């Protein structure tokens, strides 16, 4: 339970960073923290205390199968990391362009579109 709670704390930290920080790079970092909080959460969901890697070998009996950690969340996390990477790359590229166009990293000043 504690780990889930810590996961939620990590998520909230990311969210706080995203909302409260003005600097565009810090916002990106906040988003990445959130992303990793969720990845962590997925891993924890599949984790078993004393679990082993889910690889079937010759001569395994059913009690061994019981001890496997759930492989599915790990696959999900891998995919999620890839997606996260894509988003991060796009975000960073946009940050560079924004700095070129607006001359600032302060997101609170980049508010021309309003109303």
Partner 1 sequence: MSPVPLFVAIPLGAAFLIPMLGIWWKKSGEVLAALSTVILAVMAILSIGSTAVTHHMGGWAPPVGIALVSDGLTVLLLIAVNVVAFLCILFSLKYMTAYSGLPKYYSLFMLMVAGMNGVVVSGDLFNLYVFLEIASIASYALVAFGTEADELEAGFKYLVLGSVASVMILFAIGTVYAVTGTLNMADAAREISLRFSGAGAMNPALLLAAAMFLMGFSLKAALVPFHAWLPDAHPSAPAPISAMLSGVVIKSLGVYAICRVFFHVFGFDPNVTSSVILANSMIWLAVLSIIIGGLVAVGQWDYKRLLAYSSIGQVGYVILGLGVGARVLATGGPRSLAALAILGGLFHLLNHAAFKSLLFLSSGAIQHATGTRDMKQMGGLRDKMPITSATTNLAALSISGVPPFSGFWSKLIILIAVVKAEHYVVAGIAIVMAFVTLVYYVKVQREIIFGSVRGAVEKAKEVPAAMYVPLIILAIVCVGFGLLYPVFGYRILEPARDALLNGAEYVKLVLG
Partner 2 sequence: MSPILIPIVVPAIAGGLCFLIPRRVKYVREAISLIALVWAFVSTLQLFGSWPLSYTKDWMVLGNFTVQFDLLLNQFSSFVIIFVGLFGLLIGLYSMSWLSKEHDGRRYYAFLLWTVAASCGAVLSNSLLVMLIFWEALTAVLVFFIILGRKKEEAADGAAKSFIMLGLSDAALFMAIAMIWMKSGTLSMSELSIFAGDGVTITMYLLMMVGAITKAGAMPFHTWIPAAAKGAPTPVMALLPASIDKLLGIYLLARISLDIFSIGPGLQLTLMIIGAVTILGAVLMALIQHDLKVLLSYHAISQVGYMVLGVGTGIPVGIAGGIFHMLNHAIYKACLFLSAGSIEKQTGTTEISKLGGLARAMPITFAACAIAAFAISGIPPFNGFVSKWMVYSGLVELGARGFKPYWIFLIAALFGSALTLASFVKVIYSGFLGQRPTALAKVRESNWAMTVPMIVLAALCVIFGVWAKFPIDRFINPIVHGAVGTSAAGTLDIAVGFWDPTVATGLIIIGIIVGLGIFAFGKLAKRRTGRIFIGGTVPSSNMDPMHVTGTDFYNTIRHETGLRGLFANAEQRIFDVYEVGGRVGNVFVQGLRMLHDGVLSTYLAWSVIGLGAIVFVLLTVLLKELASRQ
CB under 5 to 8 A by kind: which of partner 2, partner 1, none does 17 bind? none
CB under 5 to 8 A by kind: which of partner 1, partner 2, none does 31 bind? partner 1
DSSP of 35-75: HHHHHHHHHHHH--TT-B-----TT--HHHHHHBPPHHHHH
Please tell me the total number of residues recorded for the chain in this structure: 115
101 belongs to the binding site for partner 2 (CB under 8 A): no
- Among 3, 8, 9, 20, which residue sits at the site for partner 2 (rule: CB under 8 A)? 20
Residue 87 Cβ vs partner 1, minimum distance, rounded to whole Å: 6
């Amino acid at each position: 339970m504690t780990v889930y709670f810590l996961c939620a704390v990590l998520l909230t930290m990311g969210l706080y960073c995203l909302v409260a920080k003005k600097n565009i790079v810090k916002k990106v970092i906040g988003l990445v923290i959130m992303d990793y909080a969720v990845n962590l959460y997925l891993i924890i969901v599949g984790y078993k205390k004393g679990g082993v890697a889910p690889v079937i070998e010759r001569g395994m009996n059913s009690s061994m199968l019981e001890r496997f950690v759930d492989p599915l969340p790990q696959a999900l996390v891998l995919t999620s990391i890839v997606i996260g990477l894509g988003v991060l790359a796009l975000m960073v590229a946009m940050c560079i362009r924004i700095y070129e166009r607006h001359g600032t990293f302060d997101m609170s000043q980049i508010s021309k579109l309003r109303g």
